[in-house]
Structure 1
């Protein structure tokens, strides 16, 4: 039987936060891991940590909104680690503002990374999945997909990824490929720290206040999402596809 040790996974936006935690978790599961990020030193640092721990990893710099860069990155991964059959679309940015203050660049940047990036990465990797008759695509949505003041662009992109996921599941299912999305709630990362900074609130106070609104009484950690990714890309999750899992410490949706 094919196991995780035969799999090659690509994680985008993996130089830090959820992406880094996911790369480390999938490496611990036995997969060879490609750590993709616009931040090349950060991507290579995470890959080096995995290699030092005994895993196989490759750090690759890529702008996921650039089709030529995406194809080159996927080709390099296939050549150096093997054909990728697991893809985690995690790369993301925020450009928060209210509608009347939001610029076209704010809108286009967020759409380019989240939606265009997921499309380009999945299009490039699906060839390897279809040839293998096995694949897993997990895309990171957000509870912001339900609507969040000051995040018109981000909320729209994250909602779009849910439709993207459901359609992938329909199109690729006959090839043994599943597609699912994870919609995290509050996760303590640099991105949520930036939100606290934007609001002028100390990060620790922001975490404390947020935890009071979450049924499990704490905010999430990147590892919480990495564990869920690990399950969704496992052999045992082959009958789960087209789903959006809200990982928010309570019944968010």
Structure 2
């Protein structure tokens, strides 16, 4: 599993997770809409000594993702890991949301994970296995977006469990990494906590979970929602 394909890696925990995969010995393909926004992530991956390629793609567009996958396979090889990093989208209180706001806040993240996961399934089956991960940094705390983000997290969990059941016979695992249910506003906590991985103890624990779930020791772990506590810290 020497090649990883990552979405949502422009900054924050998504960027840190991409670098962690490179440090774990993987070449990394970063998919996104804005190359300039991913320049720092690509630089950090290159500094680990691993290969990295940025591929411009709207992850909600199936055609664009298929083209991106073709380029990844050509330049780096067959992806053995797909990591979708999904962040919170705050559109304000429910009573103020338009239909478009709801679609972007809820439907957008879910569709992106669906499209990218579907794209890698056949190649992973042909290659004898793989890892599909969702890093769902969507806890809302007391913010108006909390309800919507909980819908996104629930949808991601259900979709991932379905993937896990369908793909178990092919040696492909699927798991979600998410904030502990009782965690409060991650933005405020990140600013206060300090430390690795985007400045929060949650981020440090989430990155450790990414490293574990892509490793050989997690080959039998699938369909799980790995909740990482805000208090989790490196020893």
> Is the pair's TM-score, using the shorter chain for normalization, greater than 0.5?
yes
Confirm whether residue 34 of structure 1 aligns to residue 26 of structure 2. Answer: no
Contact 2:142 2:185 in 1 (8 A): no
| Residues 44, 60 of structure 1: 8 Å contact kept | no
What is the Cα deviation at residue 91 of structure 1? 3.7
In structure 1, the residue matched to 2:218 is 237
Q: C-alpha deviations, 1:136-172, integer Å up to 9, x for none?
A: 0111235738997533332211110000111110000
> How has the CA–CA distance of structure 1 residues 134 and 187 changed in structure 2, closer, same or farther, with 3 Å as cutoff?
farther
Deviations 1:97-146 (A, max 9, x none): 22111111111112343100000000001111111111101112357389
- The DSSP-based 3-state class of the residue aligned with 1:96 is coil
TM-superposed CA distance for 1:87, in Å, is 0.6
Q: Normalization by structure 1: what TM-score? A: 0.79
Structure 2 residue 93 is the aligned partner of structure 1 residue 98: yes
User: 1:125 is matched with which residue?
Assistant: 120
Partner deviation per Cα, 1:20-54 (whole Å, 9 max, x = no partner): 11111110111111112222112243223222331
Higher mean C-alpha displacement, 56-65 vs 160-169: 56-65
Give the aligned partner of residue 17 of structure 2: 22
The separation in 2 between residues aligned to 1:91 and 1:68, in whole angstroms, is: 20
Size of the alignment, in residue pairs? 225
Counterpart in 1 of 2:45? 50
Alpha-carbon distance between aligned partners in 2 of 1:37 and 1:138, rounded to the nearest angstrom: 17
Q: Distance in 2 between matches of 1:164 and 1:31?
A: 26
Structure 2: 5+ residue stretches without partners: 194-198
Report 1:64-75 matches (<5 A).
Answer: 64-75=59-70
* Aligned residue runs from structure 1 range 215-230, under 5 A: 219-220=200-201, 222-230=203-211
Distance 2:4 2:16 in 1: 13
Q: CA RMSD in A?
A: 2.7
Report the TM-score when normalising by structure 2: 0.85
Partner of 1:214: none
